[in-house]
C-alpha cells in the first residue's frame, strides 16, 4: 500500500531534522532568506520550486555540504554547534551527523573506480567500522531490494542511469541513515528510466523512512509526501499537506508555478 497522503500521527514522533531561520549567501547573493523546516521520523517532506529558488542549497545545508550563513540545524535532537560566521564548530560533530543522513544526488556520484558492491560497503567498513562480512551481507540485501543483485561486481560506468541511481540509493541506505536526502534524483535520467527510480523511493516512503526530497515530479511529490514546501527566491512561499498545496494553492506564485510545470 503506497504512502498516499499520510497524516501526521496524533501522538508525537521523535524529531529527525529541524532547520530554523536558515540563511545562506554566496558572496553578495542571498540564496536562502530565513527558511525553516521540520521533519519527524517517518515524515516525507517534499521541497518544490522553480530553478534557482534555493532548493538544493537548503538540502545541502542540512548535511553541511554548504555552510549556512546563519540559522539553526538540529539533527536527531542534537543541535549542530556553529560559530558566529555560521561555520561548524566541530568537524567531528558534522561527520557524525552526516553519517546519519543518506544523500542521493542528481548525478548519482558513485565512485567510478569501485564496483557497485565496493561502493556500498565503503563507508560502513572504513568509516563506521562494520565488520566486512556483515557489510557485504547487508549490501547484497540492499542490492537485491533495488533490483541490482546481479550487478554487484559491475563498475558504475557500465550501468544505465536508472541502475546507477538505484545503486546510489542503496549506497545511501547502507549506512543505515536516520533520514534520506534526495536532490532531484530523477532529473538526470532519460524519461523511460524515471519510473524505476521513483518506484524505489516510493517503497522507502511506504516503509516509513524519513526523507527530504527535492523534486520536479509534482505528481510523485503529491503521492508520497506528508508535507510539501514551496520555495521561491529563497523564501518558503507556501507549505502544507500535499492535497492542500496542490489541490488549493493560496499564493499566486504557487498557482503560477504549478501551472507552468503541469
Ligand X SMILES: Nc1ncnc2c1ncn2[C@@H]1O[C@H](COP(=O)(O)OP(=O)(O)O)[C@@H](O)[C@H]1O
Would you tell me which residues interact with another protein (CB under 8 A)?
63, 65, 91, 94-99, 101-103, 105, 107-115, 122-123, 126-127, 155-158, 168, 172, 175
Question: Which residue number, 36 or 109, has a Cβ lying nearer to another protein?
Answer: 109
Q: Are 148 and 180 in contact (CB under 8 A)?
A: no
If one asks whether residue 69 binds ligand X (CB under 6 A), the answer comes out as: no
If one asks whether residue 107 binds ligand X (CB under 6 A), the answer comes out as: no
Return the residue of 19, 35, 40, 57 that touches ligand X, per CB under 6 A: 57
If one asks whether residue 55 binds ligand X (CB under 6 A), the answer comes out as: yes
Beta strands in the chain, from DSSP E residues, in sequence order? 15-26, 29-40, 44-49, 70-75, 78-79, 101-104, 179-183, 211-214, 227-232, 235-240
Q: Reduce the DSSP state of residue 215 to 3 states and report it.
A: coil
Return the residue of 56, 164, 210, 226 that touches Mg ion, per CB under 5 A: 56
If one asks whether residue 232 binds ligand X (CB under 6 A), the answer comes out as: no
* Nearest Cα residue to 123 out of 93, 149, 103: 103
Signed CA dihedral, 75, 72, 92, 118: sign only: positive
- Smallest distance from Mg ion to CB 54, Å: 9
- Smallest distance from another protein to CB 159, Å: 11
- Smallest distance from ligand X to CB 117, Å: 31
Interacting span for ligand X (CB under 6 A) from 51-59, 69-77, 82-90, 205-213: 51-59
In this structure, are strands 29-40 and 15-26 parallel, antiparallel, or unpaired? antiparallel
In the list ligand X, another protein, Mg ion, none, the entry touching 78 (Cβ below 5 to 8 angstroms by class) is none
- Smallest distance from ligand X to CB 109, Å: 16
- Smallest distance from another protein to CB 99, Å: 4
List Cβ neighbours of 201 (8 Å cut-off, separation of 6 or more).
Answer: 169, 182, 185, 211, 213, 220, 224
* Cell numbers representing residue 166 in the block: 538505484
Distance CA 101, CA 95 (A): 10
If one asks whether residue 53 binds ligand X (CB under 6 A), the answer comes out as: yes
Q: Where on the phi/psi map is residue 149: left (φ > 0), alpha (ψ -120 to 50), or beta?
A: alpha
Question: Which residue number, 57 or 164, has a Cβ lying nearer to ligand X?
Answer: 57
Q: Under rule CB under 6 A, which residues in 13-32 are in contact with ligand X?
A: 26, 29, 31
Q: What is the DSSP letter of 176?
A: -
Binding site for ligand X (CB under 6 A): 26, 29, 31, 49, 51-57
Binding site for Mg ion (CB under 5 A): 56
Amino acid at each position: 500500500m503506497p504512502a498516499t497522503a499520510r497524516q501526521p500521527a496524533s501522538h508525537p514522533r521523535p524529531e529527525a531534522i529541524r532547520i530554523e531561520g536558515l540563511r545562506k549567501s554566496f558572496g553578495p547573493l542571498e540564496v536562502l532568506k530565513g527558511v525553516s523546516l521540520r521533519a519527524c521520523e517517518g515524515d516525507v517532506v517534499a521541497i518544490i520550486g522553480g530553478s534557482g529558488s534555493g532548493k538544493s542549497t537548503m538540502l545541502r545545508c542540512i548535511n553541511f555540504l554548504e555552510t549556512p550563513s546563519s540559522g539553526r540545524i538540529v539533527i536527531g535532537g542534537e543541535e549542530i554547534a556553529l560559530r558566529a560566521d555560521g561555520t561548524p564548530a566541530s568537524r567531528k560533530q558534522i561527520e557524525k551527523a552526516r553519517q546519519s543522513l543518506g544523500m542521493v544526488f542528481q548525478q548519482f556520484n558513485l565512485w567510478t573506480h569501485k564496483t557497485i558492491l565496493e561502493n556500498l560497503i565503503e563507508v560502513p567498513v572504513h568509516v563506521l567500522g562494520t565488520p566486512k562480512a556483515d557489510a557485504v551481507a547487508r549490501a547484497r540485501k540492499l542490492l537485491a531490494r533495488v533490483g541490482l543483485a546481479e550487478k554487484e561486481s559491475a563498475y558504475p560506468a557500465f550501468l544505465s542511469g536508472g541502475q546507477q541511481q538505484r545503486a546510489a540509493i542503496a549506497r545511501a541506505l547502507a549506512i543505515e541513515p536516520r533520514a534520506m536526502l534526495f536532490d532531484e534524483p530523477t532529473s538526470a535520467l532519460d524519461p523511460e528510466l524515471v519510473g524505476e527510480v521513483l518506484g524505489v523511493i516510493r517503497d522507502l516512503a511506504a516503509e516509513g523512512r524519513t526523507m527530504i526530497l527535492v523534486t520536479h515530479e509534482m505528481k510523485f511529490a503529491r503521492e508520497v509526501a506528508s508535507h510539501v514546501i514551496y520555495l521561491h527566491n529563497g523564501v518558503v512561499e507556501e507549505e502544507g499537506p500535499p492535497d492542500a498545496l496542490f489541490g488549493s494553492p493560496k499564493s499566486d506564485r504557487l498557482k503560477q508555478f504549478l501551472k507552468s510545470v503541469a
